[in-house]
Structure 1
Amino acid sequence: MSKPGQLVLVALRKMIASGELAAGERLMEIPTAQLFGVSRMPVRMAFRTLEQEGLLVPFGGRGYQVRSVSPGDIAGAVEVRGVLEGLAARQAAERGLSDEARVVLERCLVEGDQLFAKGYVTEDDLEVYHDLNMRFHHVIVEGSHNPAIADALARNDHLPFASVNALAVDREDMAREYRRFNYAHMQHHSVFDALVSRQGARAEAIMREHANATLRYAEIFSSATENARMKVILRAQ
């Protein structure tokens, strides 16, 4: 996806999680493109991705509607991802990492170390982290040599905020985002150590806990509902 498309995607995820875009809200390409100052193509790609993630549903053939999501929906889907990725990590540790997998994981750790070393992050930094995070998780799932895990994760990814690809950034509190993502990266180091040490139970436990970082989306969503935050309405005129 292009950079404009990625920016729109991340922004819309956050707006849905925060309640700025409430359940049932309609989204149309032209007003959304105007809001973000981009062409219609990045918006179209962002909409399709959000539909795949279970956050939008087609509406009337001319746009999309925000799906009704509860904090419990998010928490349940994230818990399932943690169980599945934990199982993948345990099996990868017990089987032993290939040399190629180890190199990829080590490269992800080095890139992450460089990213967080300066003590803060920008939105561009978090896009870089998003890419290396996807690679890290993908290698672990592949390392399990269990296709059933990948299949189950693919189905679970269609639930709101369940996918490891679902990155929502709070631009209003980047200091907190730094702490959250830096902590997640430290968990990458821990799970890597467990994998190379062939400690299956430890690797499984860390990956299950690692998934809990996503539960902040459930907290944001719950807070937005309780406080009835002002909505940003995107409708065709």
Structure 2
Amino acid sequence: MKTLAQDVTDTLRDAILHGQFKPGTRIEEIPLAEQMGVSRTPVRAALGTLVNEGLIDHQPKRGYVIRAFAIEDIVAAYEVRSVLEGLACRSAAAKGLSASQAHRLETSLAQGDHILSAGLLKPEDHEPYQKINVNIHETLLEASGNAWVSRFAVQAHHIPFASDRIILWDDHAVILRSHGDHHRIVEAIQTRDCARSEQLMREHVLYAGIILKKNYERLIDNGDAESALIFAPDGNSRSNTST
């Protein structure tokens, strides 16, 4: 059962990852506690956790400040994710899936197939597909049987725009390719092909990072810096766009 401090931490983290706080924004304990309807104690604990995770900075005389991330930082987080989640798939293939894990993956794949069969991703499909995507990745991390891999992979997800819990492309072709990757990864794990399982997941995550970088660069080239992301190439805030 979660503590109040954990609930506050999760709420604040989610708000930061969704761009509800601009990089450079100063956060104060008392106003935040009043806004959330809690005492300062869980807020202070939550802020300390988010400092350790690297989402916010604690600066002398300024207090807590939302950290800005350069696009290079975000792409680097995808590289870390690719290694960790690739290792998770290799381990899962070596160990084999439990009946429960296999059922969850097969159900999620079938649900994704159904959503994408329409030939486009409708707005009302965004949240359901994102849940499917998260379930697949979390199940594969669980199937690794390695708590350290899961722990560090979760840390990589705490970099804004590097998380499959936040990002969802609007391009149906990109989503279709990504979901096809899911099928190939699960199939490789089920056939106990360790090397292929790892390589497929690495490519899957790295491709998402490449698409993010290309979209960012396209918006910058078109002079649309305000929509590019909430992060500038030099790590300074330029805009606030939730995803």
Partner of 1:96: 96
Taking the TM superposition and a 5 Å limit, the aligned residue runs for 1:147-166 are 147-166=147-166
- For normalisation by structure 1, the TM-score amounts to 0.68
Q: Supply the AA of the counterpart residue of 2:146.
A: N
Give the 3 Å change call, closer, same or farther, for CA 219–56 of structure 1 in structure 2. farther
Residues 187, 206 of structure 1: 8 Å contact kept: yes
Contact 2:17 2:158 in 1 (8 A): no
Number of aligned residues: 195
Counterpart in 2 of 1:231? 226
Which residue of structure 1 lines up, in the alignment, with residue 106 of structure 2?
106
Shift of 1:58: 8.7
Structure 1 residues 57 and 218: CA distance shift in structure 2, 3 A: farther
Q: Structure 1 residues 160-169 or 208-217, which shifts more? A: 160-169
Q: 2-side partners of 1:11 and 1:99: how far apart? A: 33
Pair 184,55 (structure 1): closer, same or farther in 2 beyond 3 Å = farther
- The amino acid that maps onto 1:129 is Y
* Alignment check: 8 A CA contact 2:126 2:168 kept: no
**Structure 1 residue 100: deviation in Å?**
1.0
Higher relative contact order (CA 8 A, sep 6+): 1
Q: What is the alpha-carbon distance in structure 2 between the residues aligned to residue 126 and residue 188 of structure 1?
A: 17
How far does the alpha carbon of each residue in 1:192-215 deviate from its partner, in whole angstroms, 9 at most, with x for none? 110110001001011011102421
TM alignment of 1:163-178, pairs within 5 A: 163-169=163-169, 174=170, 177-178=171-172
How many angstroms does 1:72 deviate by?
Answer: 1.5
In 2, Cα distance between equivalents of 1:9 and 1:214: 22
Which residue number corresponds to residue 198 of structure 2? 204
Query: Aligned partners of 1:178 and 1:55: how far apart in 2?
Result: 31
2:179 corresponds in structure 1 to 185
Post-superposition Cα deviations, 1:98-120, rounded to whole Å, max 9, x if no partner, equal 11111110000110010011111
Aligned to 1:124: 124
Q: Distance in 2 between matches of 1:195 and 1:142?
A: 13
- Change in CA separation of 1:124 and 1:145 when aligned onto 2, cut-off 3 Å: same
Normalised by the size of structure 2, how large is the TM-score? Answer: 0.67
Give the superposed CA RMSD: 3.5
SS in 2 for 1:118: coil
8 Å Cα contact 1:97-1:196 kept in structure 2: yes
Q: One-letter code of the match for 2:185? A: V
- State the identity as a percent: 29
What are structure 2's unaligned runs of at least 5 residues? 1-10, 28-34, 37-46, 228-238
1:70 maps to what in 2? 70
